[in-house]
Structure 1
């Protein structure tokens, strides 16, 4: 990735202009200015995305890696041989020019070549393409008969399990067709339980079981691995026997997979399994009498109609483009995915771009060649920064649901995204990049939070292998899937490593890379949690990203304290953090968790005072630890936007006033004091956080017996807050007044004794909870709930769990036009009856879905 590599070196040069306490030196000015000028030109040159520069792209990328090695090595040598007060006291005189002359010479040569080509470069294919306004509904153009077939199969009465096998070529639109039926309101109403799971090529029955139970919301994200395959199967069977169910098994690759899974699905009225595959023999192996369905390519005028709707929407195709555009449609061989993908590329494109697209698709021999050609065009037309972000997603396994909260941090730490004239923060640029990839149908959204924001995603399976191959060609990263004590010899030029089977680096000699080892920039341990003590050798002095949450450290690894270039550090470690960690001046993300079985000490564990000097910090997650009290001269952490898992000791006015741009705060109270009200007094300080958007407070071990009455602290939130989650706080319902009037609050989660008291009487004139869309009540002792018309005007989802005493849901909820779903889990019959009455009363004005579940059914 030449563009990304240039950006990374420029970022390093920018950082050298602003020395911190541990970086009091100057690089030779003339060499640096020459390098910056040439790199700035190459950045603009590459941003144009010019075609036909593959040879130059490789030269730029390799030279940038060399430049970064020189700059980082010089800086690392300086910092590791100097004291915090400067190198002179140790008589260490750094040679900052070492290696720069050779790098400058190569960059000069490349810049000269680029300048010679630049005047002759044709306009690129959609240099910075707009995010296409498309709908996945377009993928079902011409599929009306197929849709009717599927719906009829699902609606037909049957006392036994019916399979619905579907097969067709890659990119034919099988998955999107089934998704349309799966989300159809009639089908949703008919099937009490629905689950969708992507079956990987290296099929694991246990992984499929875990995926099904997660889709059914029977186990949480990241859970299930501790259960045996037999336990998972029994649990799935209990859930499916409760009533009608619809299961989708997507991308099944061979008959043996169905043979291993078919016994999991019990007979029952309206029980269906849709099996999606590319192979006819797999579909036929799953047929139990209803027949199989082949999805055919679009024909006639359908491809042209679909392409027109994607590119021109309601406008006619310009006359000068029509002939070429029809060639593009014809060359897509009736594959909806190819048509929609190429349509996204060609929005607002000129005649030359259309001609390039038509020619690129002309010689495709089969569907696989066509899809690869379309993906190549789609990839080339992406903005340069988006290419790196996309390839990086291949570090995660195929069909793996990637959490955006982690993905965005890694993108930022790697330097792929940053703020610019279009985006005012790296996080906003990351979000814009993801939305572009989603709208291009390259990335699939797999989970959204209660208010509709994307929570997890993955690369579409059709695209995954293509981008994995592309990443390998560019030596972008290497995945280690076998247990080993060294890097494979052929990977010495790679900078990023994803380690699926936890690797054990015993010592430098076993690494087998000798002097090449320091070029490693990123290590991500993505394997299962290591259950035994594991020693990991970390002598990679240029490392920028270290994600080692899956590795158990029982002593703090001293090597980490020498990794002065680290931007992202994630560890699982129970002990004290050494003060030398504050020498890691470039840290953006610091995540230090405890082992699950670690006991939290009642004594407050603080980070060193010097942590306030780490001005680049954006994210701090410190389970069982706190920020230290600042001194009067401690600077503010202007860039810190997230602070998680800290106690109330990190929420004093002295600390909060030094976090002016904090957007997300998570407080975890392990052992509350006898005076619980004093522990919660920090809630009155939150208005100091003028940018706060998300707040979570969890009291882990509240003392219900001694507390007795509910608490009534001075609760106050800034008007910017959009999400609040409380658990174990024991607040009085009177405190709800401070929450109900928040103008931007969209999500409110009240769990396990968050509020204490049998009656919630919501008062207030006009609209109360004016923006709330999601409300969760869980494990509360509430009995009576009163609300008035005008309260909760935009509520769409109401979830009530384990509120055994609640007698009824206020009838006025039937007057909320936006309300779409009421979910009750382990509630009494009176509450369920009130929900059903709300549903019946609203029938003439709009549909409300009511789901009820009892955990007792899981054990039958």
Structure 2
């Protein structure tokens, strides 16, 4: 497998270990920097999935910065274990912490630069005329946009059944279920397959999907929720018709002096303070009397949960809120009457089955020599599904020979 992918997978595992191991005390600022770093890791993995082999110099830079980031984190972890005891001078701890933050900041600056080039490449390279969507950084979406047509996912059958059982369970109370796991492990894919399953579609009156970004705001989340549920809001439909009519009027009113637009803007500003309350009331009103499923994808902060906890009415009708997060503290904060669903890394057989499905599709007669090498490549992905998808994309563009495949492990 490409060295850049291996470096990113290794870094993602190190980040996950650092964030969730009780042995390390992490300051809020350290956590913020690590999460910023982690967002780039997953984004670059998706980039390599779509453009692997077409941006070779950039792949080398991604590999180098991933190695540098992992070295910095592992050194900091070792220092915490070696020196982080009660009698260590606080000034020494402070100096080490500041040094670590500066190291992370330097790495993140490099990743910022790479991310800008990634955007440029995505805007200039067309692969087979297809439009490619990056799931990282999206503000809102439907699950159909995120994973259209994906009716079966290798290795997630047990997870999917567990989520379905919970969603359609006997409890009538409103419940929140967090799905947790490291970046690239398949949380969004699992939520998407549950969201779009015919059983779930029939069970709930309303289904809405919103993706939470790190620059979260309550008003933006409310807007995304309303947009996802606009078919159930007569007011939104009327507004859409009115906006279309207004556009037509504007095209015929070029001689207007702009007075009316200025008055309208002033009116909107005077109503700004009540906009949040009005939107919250609309969300609540749409959901009342309906069994609903709300999916909140990629939640980064407990503040999100504080902002929406009073939005969702509980009328003992079996409504559910499903959220995905890579943070254990967010999961434990969200899970009130239920425990979280933690996703595990794939084992050797699951890894090979996923890689085989992506490379060979429905082909049954796989050469034994390629299966041997393929299993080694799958093993090198460390059980991370996204890494195996990236590896499969690279293998699909190479000749199916032992010599060609041997270059990737």
Structure 1 pair 51/214, CA: closer, same or farther in 2 (3 Å)? closer
- Note the alpha carbon deviations across 1:135-166, whole angstroms, 9 max, x for none: 6345x312222111111111113332111111
**Contact kept in structure 2, 1:167 and 1:174, CA below 8 Å:** yes
Displacement after TM superposition at 1:238 (Å): 0.5
**For 1:294, which of 331, 342, 359 is the aligned residue?**
342
Structure 1 pair 198/262, CA: closer, same or farther in 2 (3 Å)? same
SS in 2 for 1:301: helix
**Contact kept in structure 1, 2:348 and 2:379, CA below 8 Å:** no
Larger fraction in strand: 1
Structure 1 pair 353/230, CA: closer, same or farther in 2 (3 Å)? farther
- CA distance, structure 2, for counterparts of residue 154 and residue 287 of structure 1: 14
TM-score, L = length of structure 1 = 0.26
SS in 2 for 1:136: coil
CA RMSD across the alignment: 3.3
SS in 1 for 2:310: helix
- Note the alpha carbon deviations across 1:710-750, whole angstroms, 9 max, x for none: xxxxxxxxxxxxxxxxxxxxxxxxxxxxxxxxxxxxxxxxx
Structure 1 pair 251/180, CA: closer, same or farther in 2 (3 Å)? same
SS in 1 for 2:309: helix
**For 2:386, which of 329, 332, 337 is the aligned residue?**
337
1:284 is aligned to 2:335: no
- Corresponding residue for residue 249 of structure 1: 296
- CA distance, structure 2, for counterparts of residue 337 and residue 49 of structure 1: 19
- Note the alpha carbon deviations across 1:483-513, whole angstroms, 9 max, x for none: xxxxxxxxxxxxxxxxxxxxxxxxxxxxxxx
- CA distance, structure 2, for counterparts of residue 137 and residue 204 of structure 1: 33
- Corresponding residue for residue 405 of structure 2: 354
Displacement after TM superposition at 1:355 (Å): 3.7
1:177 is aligned to 2:177: no
1:151 is aligned to 2:199: no
Identify the structure with bigger relative contact order (alpha carbons < 8 Å, sequence gap 6+): 2
1:214 is aligned to 2:262: no
**For 2:307, which of 237, 241, 260 is the aligned residue?**
260
**For 1:323, which of 372, 378, 384 is the aligned residue?**
372
Displacement after TM superposition at 1:51 (Å): 5.1
- Corresponding residue for residue 618 of structure 1: none
- Note the alpha carbon deviations across 1:642-689, whole angstroms, 9 max, x for none: xxxxxxxxxxxxxxxxxxxxxxxxxxxxxxxxxxxxxxxxxxxxxxxx
- CA distance, structure 2, for counterparts of residue 160 and residue 341 of structure 1: 41
**Contact kept in structure 2, 1:129 and 1:345, CA below 8 Å:** no
Structure 1 pair 130/207, CA: closer, same or farther in 2 (3 Å)? closer
Structure 1 pair 246/51, CA: closer, same or farther in 2 (3 Å)? closer
1:230 is aligned to 2:277: yes
- Corresponding residue for residue 136 of structure 1: 150
Structure 1 pair 339/135, CA: closer, same or farther in 2 (3 Å)? farther
- CA distance, structure 1, for counterparts of residue 59 and residue 167 of structure 2: 51
- Unaligned segments of structure 2, at least 5 residues: 1-52, 61-125, 133-147, 244-267
Matches within 5 A, 1:766-845: none
- CA distance, structure 2, for counterparts of residue 53 and residue 213 of structure 1: 39
- CA distance, structure 1, for counterparts of residue 129 and residue 407 of structure 2: 19
- Corresponding residue for residue 104 of structure 1: none
Structure 1 pair 147/308, CA: closer, same or farther in 2 (3 Å)? same
- Note the alpha carbon deviations across 1:745-775, whole angstroms, 9 max, x for none: xxxxxxxxxxxxxxxxxxxxxxxxxxxxxxx
- CA distance, structure 2, for counterparts of residue 277 and residue 260 of structure 1: 16
Matches within 5 A, 1:474-623: none
- CA distance, structure 2, for counterparts of residue 202 and residue 311 of structure 1: 37
- Corresponding residue for residue 725 of structure 1: none
Larger fraction in helix: 2
- Structure with greater Cα Rg: 1
Structure 1 pair 54/259, CA: closer, same or farther in 2 (3 Å)? closer
Aligned residues: 238
- Note the alpha carbon deviations across 1:693-725, whole angstroms, 9 max, x for none: xxxxxxxxxxxxxxxxxxxxxxxxxxxxxxxxx
**Contact kept in structure 2, 1:236 and 1:264, CA below 8 Å:** yes
Structure 1 pair 327/130, CA: closer, same or farther in 2 (3 Å)? farther
- Corresponding residue for residue 191 of structure 1: 204
Displacement after TM superposition at 1:288 (Å): 1.4
- Corresponding residue for residue 90 of structure 2: none
Displacement after TM superposition at 1:54 (Å): 9.4
Displacement after TM superposition at 1:356 (Å): 4.1
SS in 1 for 2:215: coil
Structure 1 pair 228/305, CA: closer, same or farther in 2 (3 Å)? same
- Corresponding residue for residue 24 of structure 1: none
Matches within 5 A, 1:119-134: none
- Unaligned segments of structure 1, at least 5 residues: 1-47, 56-126, 359-860
Displacement after TM superposition at 1:344 (Å): 2.5
- CA distance, structure 1, for counterparts of residue 275 and residue 57 of structure 2: 53
Structure 1 pair 298/49, CA: closer, same or farther in 2 (3 Å)? closer
